[in-house]
Structure 1
Amino acid sequence: MQQIILVVTAIVLGLATGYLTGGFAFSSAVCLVAGIFLVTPSLFNFNVSDMRLVTQKKGAIGANLWINYLLMPAAALVIGLASGDLGIAGALMLLALLPGGGMVMMWIKTSGANPKLGFILFMLNLALLLPVTLIFAQYYPLMSGYFPAPDLGAAEGLSTGREVRPFGPFVILIVIPFILSRIARAWLPGLVAFKEKHMPTISKATMFGIVFYLFSLTTSQLLFEVPIEALLRAILATGAFYAVAFTAARFLTANDAEGRAVFWHIATRYITLALILAVFVIDTYGPTFILPVMVAYFIQIGSAGMLRTRMQARAAAVA
C-alpha cells in the first residue's frame, strides 16, 4: 500500500506540475539516474564467478526466455489487437519485452527466491535490451496497418528528436552500473554497507523522483487529451496482460528457490524503463501509448505484496 501511495503521489504531483508549467523537456540524464540508483546497488553483491549459474540452471533460464520473449509478446499481440488501439497495443508489446525491473531484486530477496539466480536473470534480461529495442522498432511499421491511424493531435510537434538507439540502454543500464559497482566494491566499502542498510529507501526515493519527472514532461500532458473510453480500454487491456503474466508465473515455474526467482521476472515488468522509452515514441503512437504503462504501476505494485504472501505460503506448505 505504501508503494501505491508513493507512485500515485508522484504521478499526481508530476501531472499537476506539468499542467501548471506547460511541462518540462525530456533529458536523457534520467536514464543515467535509473542506472546509477536502481541498477548499480544490485550489482554490489554480484561476482563475475556467479555467471557459472548460467550453465547450472539451464532449466530456469530457459523458462525465463521462452515465457518472457515468446509467450508474453504473443499475449501482448493478441490483447493489443483486441483493444483496437495502436498506442495501447504498442505499449503492451513494450511491456512484454521488458521483464523484471528496478524493484524485482527486492521482491526476490524477501520471498525466499534464489537471489544469485535472480540477478543472473536480471542481467540477462537487461542484456537482451539490445535485440529488444531493435524488435520494437519494427512493431509500428508491421502493425500500423491493422489499426486506425492514431490520433496524434497535440502529440504533433512534441517529438523528442531522438530514436530509441539499442546500444544506449545497454551501456547506461549494464556497462556503466557494472563499472561503478566494481569501483565501489574496491574502494568504497562504506558506500556498499550504506546501500545494504538503506536500499529499500533508495529504491523508493529514486522511483518517486523518476515517475514525478516523467509525468511532468510536456509529452505526459497528452494524458489530458485522452478520452475516458480510451482510458477504460487501456485498463482492461493492461489488466488482461497482467492476468496472463501472473497465471504464467504461477503455473509455469517450480515451487522452489530457483522457480521463485523466475516467477518474479515473469510477473513484473520494467515499467520505469518502459515509461522512459515511451517518451521517445509517444509522438508516433499517440497519447494512448502512455496509458498502459501508467496503469501497470498500479497493477504491479499493488499486486506485488499479495503475490509475495502467497509465494511464502506455498513455500511453507512444501517445507
Structure 2
Amino acid sequence: MPSSPTVGVIGLPEFADALRTIGFRVITDDSFRAAATAISRALSEGPFPVISSTLDEAGFEPWVKATPRKSEGLYLLRVNPQVTVPAVDGLTVLEPPVTVNDLLPLLGFASITDPLGDITVHAVAAPEPPPAAPSLLQPIAKATPPMPTPAPVQTPAVADDIFDVKQAVPPSLSPVQPVRVEREPEPAPAYVAPEVPAAPVAPPAYVVPAPAPEPYRAPQSVPAPQPAYTPVPPTPQPHYEPAPVTRETSYTDGLFAVPTPDTPYGRGQKAEVLAVLASKGGVTKTTTALMLAQAAGTAGLRVIVIDANRGQGNGVRTSLR
C-alpha cells in the first residue's frame, strides 16, 4: 500500500485538520518553535512541501530563509501583513483569502468537491489606531455681526385738502406665465439574470496519493570482463644445430687490404720492421704508419709503433685519440 504524502504546516490549524482528513501525513505542532523543530527532523528523512502563515515570532525570518533549500517548496500565507517577508528562491507568497483547493494544485494534487476544499484562511485585520486625544485648544465662536437698523423716515405732511391728493394707481399686473417642469425619466428596470439550473453535485472525491518512489538500491558490483581469448602456451620449437660453414679463402691485393687468418704466409715471408720515411713534413707519414699497424693488428700480429721523428713531439699519441 503506498504511503501517504507528507506536508508540514505551521500556524494554520484548520488547514492541518483538513489535509489530515483528506489523507495527508501532516507534520505540525501548537507553537512555532515546536512545529519548526518537528518539520526540521522530518526533512532529514526526505524533502516535502511546507505551508506556513506569516508569524511575528523570534527566529521566523531565518527559518523562512533556510527552509526552501531543504524542502520541496515553502508556501507562505500573508495572514499578518505587518510581518516582513524576505525574498528567497523557492518561496511562494499567497495573499489571503486562500482555500484548501487553492493549495492542492500547488502540492501536486487535484482539487476536491468535498466541503473540506472550501475551508478558507483570511488575513488578520490591522488594528485600528487609538482615538486621538482631545485638543486643549478650543476655537472661539464667531460673533454674529449686528444687523443695521434702518433710519427713520419722516412722514409727509398731510395736505389741507384731502381731495387734492392724487393716489397712485398700481400698474396692472402682467399675467403669470406658467413654468414648464421637465419630468424626470423613469429609471430603467434592473437587470435580472436568468435562472440557471444548478449543476448536480458530484459525490465527494478523495485524493488518491501518488505511488511512493522506489527505494534507492546500491548498484551491484560489476563482474570483471572476460578476456577476449584464452592465452595458449607457446609450442616448443625443435632445436636445430647450424651446419658448419666452410669459409672460402679470399686474396686481396693492395697495401690496405686486411688479410684473413687463411692467408698463406710463410715464416720467411713476414717482415719484422716496416719503416715509413719521407724527407718532407705533412705527407701522411704518421697516418700511413698507423694504418699499417692497424692492418697488422687485425691480422693477429703484435705491433709496436716507434716515432723516430724528434721534431714532431707527440704526433702518434695525438693521432690515436
Q: What interval of TM-score do these two structures reach, taking the shorter chain for normalisation?
A: under 0.3
Q: TM-score, normalised by structure 2?
A: 0.18
Q: Which has the higher helix share?
A: 1
Greater RCO (CA < 8 Å, at least 6 residues apart): 1
Q: Which has the higher strand share?
A: 2
Q: TM-score, normalised by structure 1?
A: 0.18
